[in-house]
Every structure is written in C-alpha cells, then in structure tokens.
Amino acid sequence: MVHIDPIARFHESFAEAVRREPFDPSRAALATADAEGRPSVRFVLVKGIDARGFVVYTNETSRKARELAGNPRAALAFHWFTTGDQVRVEGQVERVSAPEADAYFASRPRGSQLGAWASQQSTPIASREQLETQLRHVTERFADAAVPRPPFWGGYRIVPSLIEFWSDRPDRLHDRTLYTRTPLDWTVTKLSP
C-alpha cells in the first residue's frame, strides 16, 4: 500500500523503530552547507515531527546554526538497522517560535539544560577542565532556580520539500518511494533501487 501522506507514513515507520531499535530512533544525520556550498554532516536527535516538518535544537552559535543562517536548506537521513528502513528528508529551514523552544527546553533533563548554558558549542576550549569549570559556575548560578532557555539556544524546523522512504529487500531489489511536495499536496513516485 502506498501512503498519500508521508508524515503519517514516517510516524508508522518511526513507531516500529521505537519498538525494535536498541539506540534512540530519533537520531538522524543532519546535512547542512555554508553559504559557499561546502557541506557538513553530523548526527542529531530530531525532537519534533509533525505536518510542519522535522525539528532539531542547538546552540545558535554552533557550526550547524551558522550554516543554516547563511544557507537555510538542510537534509536529514534516518536509518534503522533493525527494520531495514531509511528515510531521507530535504527542505527549507525555518526557526521554531520562542514559545515552542521554551517548551522543549523545559522538558529536557536539568543536566542537559545546564550543559546548554555551559557549552559554547563548536568553539575551541583549552581543556576538558575548562568546560567542567563552566558547568560548575552555571550549576551554582541556577542552584535554587529553574533553568531558563539560554538566549543563544533554539530550534530549527526542516520543512520538507521531499521525503524518500527506502526499505531493504532481498537481492538488492529495495523498495523506494519518493514524496515530492506540490503547492496543494504531495506527489508519490516509485523509484528503481
């Protein structure tokens, strides 16, 4: 059966990965490129998936955030070994709203909240001890208070223009389905493996 809605199909595939994967199934490779087109890829955790797109959060001074500021397009690739499925997502990137970022930040474990304040992601540090010292200062600063979202931390939504599903099949006859966004809906194309 070919789904008409790729987001609904993604949620079905993701639910199966949640049941079977030994690692966090929300991890995906995020590819960005700078303004000159030089690519960069890293693994991230995708923390929101709905009809609007796929959301990741980061320090806004990180390399990926700087690249998204200069070239607001990105790609994601999920791979779940236990199900034999891959999902690729490509699209424009937009910032999530401050209330949405606040709500997600508040849901994070306190240690992750403090780490977001302590780490100036992607910047050089002299030593591990420097980072641990920064964490101690932040921990003391917020000792008797809730940890607010740092002003330099937020979310990015990849608004998909295409989503491709790839399922492993015997004899290299894999199943591939490409969903391409149109002004009103999605077109569905089967692809040769």
Q: Judge contact between 178 and 189, C-beta under 8 A.
A: yes
Residues in the chain: 193
Paired with 31 in beta bridges are 41, 75
DSSP collapsed to 3 states, 146-161: CCCCCCCEEEEEEEEE
Please pick, among 19, 128, 141, 172, the residue that the annotation labels catalytic: 172
The SS3 of residue 34 is: coil
What end-to-end distance do the CA atoms of the chain give, in Å?
A: 18
Side chain identity, residue 80: W
Tokens of 150: 């740092």
H/E stretch holding 41 reads: strand 39-45
Is 172 annotated as catalytic? yes
Tokens of 38: 């030089």
What distances in angstroms separate CA 10 from CA 5, 26, 51, one per listed residue? 9, 11, 11
CA 26, CA 50: separation in Å to the nearest integer? 13
Residues involved in catalysis: 172
